[in-house]
Structure 1
Amino acid sequence: MNKNLLSIAIILLAVAIIAVNVWNPQNKETNEESTDLAASESVTATEDVPGVDLSEVQEGKPAPDFELTTLAGETVKLSDYQGKKVILNFWATWCPPCKAEMPHMQNFYEENKDKGVEIVAVNLTDLDNGRSEIESFVKEYGLSFDIPLDEKGTIGTQYQAFTIPTSYVIDSNGIITQKIIGPMDENMMADLTESIQ
């Protein structure tokens, strides 16, 4: 009797394995489709950040205003720079491309600050290594442009600075003309700012 039960159990197990293997390839496409759907839904979900409208930060639209405190302790608004061309940059001290870009930004700023061009380099402070590290970085690179501190991370999120450095070129009317992901050099900054009003 035990041999019969064991034989029946083995046969049922073999039938179950065959049924799963025959049924699974048909279901595999459905699983892949649902995985793709879940992935696309997660991308959409990341675009819906509470309190932030990511659709307002686009080329051709006015740059959303914000207010932050600079490393020097002054309160600045992006709208304070209206009437000037602005390179709005998002960076952190630990970011190698940011380190490569900063000397170019400083040189460009020194050459163009009297020509109606500003650099506003927002430090993603909530992702960085502390205020003393930021101060050391600024001193080491001799940075003299404004460095607002995004201590809560809301401005970096609003401006979609998910890869850094991320920069926006804003014309004298406060309109976003270009978004650049990755480091820039002086020639690139000159080309981007010369082509706008």
Structure 2
Amino acid sequence: MNSRKKKAFGAIIVIVLVAVAAGTFIYQQLQKNQNTLDDDVPGYEVKADSPQSVGLGKPAPDFTLETLDGKTVTLSDLKGKKVVLNFWATWCPPCKDEMPHFQDYYEKYAKEDNAEIVAVNLTFRDRLSNVENFVESFGVTFPVLLMEDEELMETYKVYTIPSTFMINTKGEVEKQILGPLDLDTLRGYVTNLE
């Protein structure tokens, strides 16, 4: 085997080993997190003692992001309202499944429940045109924020999308949910917030 073929073969071996290691790590993380999930709801609640917990019962980490329509939203400015903070992406099938439920909730109950939905798009892994098309096709009327870098994902420990945080009127995270929510479950969470 000549040196060029040896280098190519070596590179393939390295790629395979990295892929196997990554797959093993992801599998182990999923198994570890499985012990912290509650299977009784469409989404899974992260338990307070989970390493993935952002800090249940503690103030939600503050941030300011630009919206799709060029305004800015600062989370702490919403104190006094119940906030549904949702992290999502256009390429995420469960995000597509839950978005109509979020829009239905926003139209029917948000005002009555003193609630706001804040949908943070993983724009650093998406295209702005995809976000615009998604919002238009689903008729989304609540604020869609654009996350241009990963820092906020790390702050909120968002390893799974969709991930939703239920924030009470005092600005504290009461629930952290992995996976999609339907209308009834979403409303149940919001009405139980302080």
TM-score normalised by structure 2 residue count: 0.72
What is the aligned partner in structure 2 of residue 10 from structure 1? Answer: none
Q: Does 1:70 align with 2:67?
A: yes
What per-residue deviation string (whole Å, max 9, x for no partner) do you get for residues 61-91 of structure 1? 0001101000010011001211110110000
Match of 2:97 in 1: 100
- RMSD (CA atoms): 2.0
CA distance in 2, matches of 1:156, 1:141: 24
Q: Is the 8 A contact 1:89 1:167 kept in 2?
A: yes
**Alignment-derived partner of residue 11 in structure 1:** none
In structure 1, distance between residues paired with 2:95 and 2:178: 11
5+ long unaligned stretches in structure 2: 1-24, 30-50
Task: Provide the residue aligned with 2:155 in structure 1.
Answer: 158
User: Who is 2:143 aligned against?
Assistant: 146
1:84-123 correspondence to structure 2 within 5 Å: 84-115=81-112, 116-123=114-121
How far apart are the structure 1 equivalents of 2:155 and 2:191? 26
Q: Which has the larger radius of gyration?
A: 1
Per-residue deviation, residues 86-130 of structure 1 (Å, max 9, x unmatched): 1100000000000000000000011123121110000011112x1
* Gapped regions of structure 1 (runs ≥ 5): 1-38, 44-53
4+ aligned runs moved over 3 Å, structure 1: none
> How far has the Cα of 1:56 moved from its partner?
8.7
Distance in 2 (alpha carbons) for counterparts of 1:162 and 1:177: 19
Query: Secondary structure of the equivalent of 1:184?
Result: coil
Q: Secondary structure at the match of 1:152?
A: coil
Percent identical: 46
- Residue of structure 2 equivalent to 1:170: 167
> What is the TM-score with the length of structure 1 in the denominator?
0.70
Determine which of 123, 126, 142 is the counterpart of 2:124: 126
Q: Residue 140 of structure 1 aligns to which amino acid in structure 2?
A: S
The residue identity in structure 1 corresponding to 2:122 is L
SS in 1 for 2:110: helix
Deviation for aligned residue 1:55: 8.7
- Contact persistence 1:56–1:64 (CA under 8 A): no
Greater relative contact order, per chain length (Cα 8 Å cut-off, separation 6+): 2
Query: Out of 162, 184, 187, which is 1:187 matched to?
Result: 184
Aligned length: 147
